[in-house]
Structure 1
Amino acid sequence: MHDTLPPRTGLGQMAGLIKLMRPRQWIKNAFVLAPLLFSGAFADPASVGQALLAMLLFCVASSATYTVNDLKDIERDRRHPTKSRKRPLAAGTVTVPAALALLVVLYGVLVWGWFVQPGVILVILAYVVLNLAYSFVLKHQPVLDIFTIAIGFVLRVYAGAQALAVPVSSWMFVTTLCLALYLASVKRRQELSQSGAEGREVLERYTVALVNRYAEMSATGALLFYSMFVMSSRPELVITVPVVLFGLFRYWYVVEKLDGGESPTDALLSDWPLIATVLAWTGACLWALWPTLQG
């Protein structure tokens, strides 16, 4: 059906290109700012600028990854009841040449980034390679698909550390991994419960009960390792542990009772208690760490 529909031009196609980049998903790249927060460098304007630039470069890289994935899956998406309308390439609102041109521009920005933040770009290169492997192979492999998504978040944290040239606690890495595994497991659970195995091939190899256990194990690990990180490295942040616990509980409530979670970004942005929790956690971290900077 889509082959008979002429693609939009002008402003319509520009809007489609922006949608193809999925700017709503850029919120995930806030993980790049974690080292800025926990190192206490947020009081230094130069460090803030470097961290924000690293996050921007990661936004470009993630948009390039989404574009590659949509180009690869265009025919499959056209047969999907939802993606055929929501994905610009599958819906015919963006042409393949326009998407390829966008991809060239995005990769060009990353080449420019090499001259500004080479350490960050090396991490981003690893992220791009990992996601190419995900798009073509790993997303069809059970368990590996979830871990690939999670490792992408760990790389975001590492990129933030590279931007500031600061070390990152091993606890932070393992906490990030567990939290990302939790979000990825919940995503698979919701895809499976809402669309069955039709949405992704790999879903045929999962059950709701199995991914529920993955999610519970990962959430427990995230809370445990975050608490150990706080007690060993940043004891002044102990006030944030209950906030993190509430956030995990609330997110699971959104998944179970409000039928969210297929998109962690949408689940966050559509639930004001979750937004308030993130803001409260950020504020508590700033409040707890700021006095240490004065001494």
Structure 2
Amino acid sequence: MRVIESTGRLPGDSGEPPARARPVADLLALVRPAHAAKTLLVVPVVLADAPAWTLDTLAGLAWAVGAFILAGACVYIGNDVADRHRDRFHPVKRHRPVAAGRVSVRTAGLCCVVLLALLAMVVCTGPDRPYWPVLTYLGLNVAYSRVLKHIPLIDVGTIALGFALRVLQGYLTVGARVAEWLLVAVFSMALLLAIGKRRQELLGTGAAHRPALRGYTVQLADQLLLLTCVLTTVTGLMHLRTDALLEPYGQTAMLLCTPPALFVLFRYLQVVLVDGGGGDPVRELLADRGIAVAGLALAVVLGVTILLTRYPVLATAIPH
């Protein structure tokens, strides 16, 4: 009879020596500062449709960005506490402060309470505008953490809805007409990223870490990626052509934005389907040079178009 000796390790323990305590760094890691890019990139897109660029408009957008960053930080802490036992079996997430035991549940909960108090102060002292999207975002993520994250397809839809709420808060804050095509484009783009992450998880830890993955297969994820990629492209270009306040340059902007926009989507599909990436969409998108260059090209085209639209006198300085 073969005897298997115990290694003395807990499940999910790699045998590596525990990392030195870094209280400040661990508390900062709880709120995942890199993920603030989600809000910094998504909320300000409504500037293109703002009635006017005034200090009040910019201050309102800054308020919306700050409110969602605080709300997102609370959500991350809550998820880390709720998922700490499951995260210990994940090759990457087991290094998170709560899962690794470097930050106690009590300390994490106290940080969450402090952030919620700050969010309440921001909401109460903010501009006299509707702020229900940020509150809906918080409620939605409580439901996600408790129930929705375990329901296949609903889980990725909930994540994508959080991005649409960011855009909606921006529109309500600046008092602009909501651009429906842009909302759908942001929603579908977020779906694309979430599905890419699920596909990478299927190839890695599987349903042992995320029960909702039992409702997915790699083949299904591939089909959903293609569907959402097409939806993102069509709705984004439709927004530039119809919803965006870019006349008389809307058609030109659409044509100039098509190549870099398609490259960004193609490159992301390459990262997910060829390179096996997609596990950390924010970090991978920001670190990819090709996507960064194409994104910069998009920003330049849209920025110039918006300036020409709002300040027609600038068009006279362009040689014909």
TM-score under structure 1 normalisation?
0.91
Say yes or no: does 1:113 pair with 2:106: no
Q: Which runs of 4+ in 1 moved over 4 A?
A: 5-9
1:260-292 deviation digits (Å, cap 9, x = unpaired): 211111211221111122222111111111011
Quote how far apart the aligned CAs of 1:57 are. 1.4
1:94 maps to which residue? 103
Quote how far apart the aligned CAs of 1:66 are. 0.6
User: Aligned residues, how many?
Assistant: 290
Distance of 1:242 and 1:6 partners within structure 2: 48
Q: Secondary structure at the match of 1:280?
A: helix
**Which of the two has higher C-alpha Rg?**
2
Q: State the AA in 1 paired with 2:212.
A: V
Quote how far apart the aligned CAs of 1:198 are. 2.5
Greater displacement, 143-152 / 47-56 = 47-56
Q: State the AA in 2 paired with 1:255.
A: V
Distance of 2:236 and 2:92 partners within structure 1: 37
1:289 maps to which residue? 306
Higher share in helix: 1
**Compared CA separation, residues 21 and 252, structure 1 to 2 (3 A):** same
Query: Is the Cα–Cα contact under 8 Å of residues 130 and 148 in structure 1 kept in the other structure?
Result: yes
Quote how far apart the aligned CAs of 1:208 are. 0.5
Q: State the AA in 1 paired with 2:114.
A: V
Say yes or no: does 1:205 pair with 2:215: yes
Query: Is the Cα–Cα contact under 8 Å of residues 257 and 301 in structure 2 kept in the other structure?
Result: yes
Distance of 2:273 and 2:200 partners within structure 1: 9
Distance of 1:284 and 1:44 partners within structure 2: 22
1:4-55 deviation digits (Å, cap 9, x = unpaired): x99976xx122111101011111111211111134375x4343223212211
- Identity rate of aligned residues, in percent? 34
1:196 maps to which residue? 206
Q: State the AA in 2 paired with 1:237.
A: A
Say yes or no: does 1:278 pair with 2:295: yes
Say yes or no: does 1:240 pair with 2:250: no
Say yes or no: does 1:125 pair with 2:135: yes
Distance of 2:100 and 2:135 partners within structure 1: 30
Q: 1:60 aligns with which of 58, 62, 70?
A: 70
Say yes or no: does 1:222 pair with 2:232: yes
Q: 1:179 aligns with which of 180, 185, 189?
A: 189
**Unmatched 5+ residue regions in structure 2?**
1-9, 245-249, 313-320
Q: State the AA in 2 paired with 1:231.
A: R
**Compared CA separation, residues 126 and 242, structure 1 to 2 (3 A):** same
RMSD (CA atoms): 2.2
Query: Is the Cα–Cα contact under 8 Å of residues 175 and 226 in structure 1 kept in the other structure?
Result: yes
Q: 1:32 aligns with which of 19, 25, 43?
A: 43
Distance of 2:303 and 2:281 partners within structure 1: 24
